[in-house]
Chain A
Amino acid sequence: MSEIYYAPIKIFLESENLLIDKFSIRKITDEERKRFLKVTNVVFNENGNAIGWSIMDHKDSTFVHEVEHRFMECQYIVKFSHNNFDKFDKLILALRLFKEGGIIAPVAFNDLTNSMHFFYPQITKDRG
């Protein structure tokens, strides 16, 4: 069984879906937001920016303590297979070059092993 990775990403796209090489970028679902970000509810303003969220009880998880709140604003998710893992940083670099406005995609979650893989830089704000 091929390992699949899911990387929540903060990015502004004109469309709901985007396919680049073997990377599928699409809107994050409520279920994925809950599962990966431990966020149960997000409130957006009229510009689509997250202005509030509810975080699950995370006694058993230190993850939410380690990330800055802006990560919670991720409205898209990148799905890719293990074969393309090494290309992920190039994808993010390309997006950072292509689009202004702070691309955030610090973590990929492995669907099979439930492990997390961190990328550098882990957290960025709107510096881009």
Chain B
Amino acid sequence: MKIYNLLLKEDDKKFLLAIQRFNSLVDTHSNIRNSFIDCITILESLFLDNATDELRFRFSLIISFILNNKLKIKVNLNKVKKFYDIRSILVHSGYSKDFKNETFYECLHYTRELLKWYLLNKKNRNDNFKKIIQLLKINS
């Protein structure tokens, strides 16, 4: 299994931390809202570099771009923005009326696919936001 072999060789500390977080969030002893927050945190750590501005926009654009163009999973940009907003509201207030269990399960599916993509596309990891978008545009 290719994923298993890549995991054995993996030495990217950022990815290893993210994959540990993923392993924890599937534990049903975790609160489902916290698990949702963890999903977004995983994606943020993997796909946003050290940028400090336009985080919501950058996050939504790059996540939806990879899902749609590389993984052929049709996801609206606004849906990804909504995920990011729900995460922010949950973190800052502990409750979001827009959060449903389905929200988490959908996000979990995307997180799993994006983790796999990240693992399988090592050479693209360290590119910055603009380079990745440029690369994805060329390859799509």
Interface residues in chain A, defined as those with a beta carbon under 8 Å from any beta carbon in chain B: 20-21, 87, 89-91, 93-94, 96-98, 100, 102, 120-125, 127-128
Contacts and interface: CB of A to CB of B under 8 A. Distances in A.
Interface stretch (B21-29, B48-56, B122-130): B21-29
A128 B27 CA distance: 9
Contact of A128 (B1, B3, B5, B26): B26
A127 B35 contact: yes
Interface in B1-37: 1, 3-5, 7-8, 19, 22-29, 32, 35
B74 interface: no
Nearest to A86: B8
Given A90-B7, A97-B116, A97-B119, A121 B1 contact: no
A98 B113 CA distance: 9
B88 to A, nearest CB: 23
Contacts of B5: 21
Given A93-B7, A120-B27, A121-B23, 15 more contacts: A20-B4, A87-B8, A89-B23, A90-B4, A91-B4, A93-B19, A93-B23, A94-B4, A96-B22, A96-B26, A97-B116, A100-B109, A102-B26, A124-B26, A128-B112
Q: Which of A87, A94, A122 has the most CB of B within 10 A?
A: A94
Nearest to A20: B1
B26 A121 contact: yes
Contact of B3 (A87, A97, A122): A97
Contacts of A100: 109, 112
A121 B22 contact: no
A20 B4 CA distance: 8
B80 interface: no
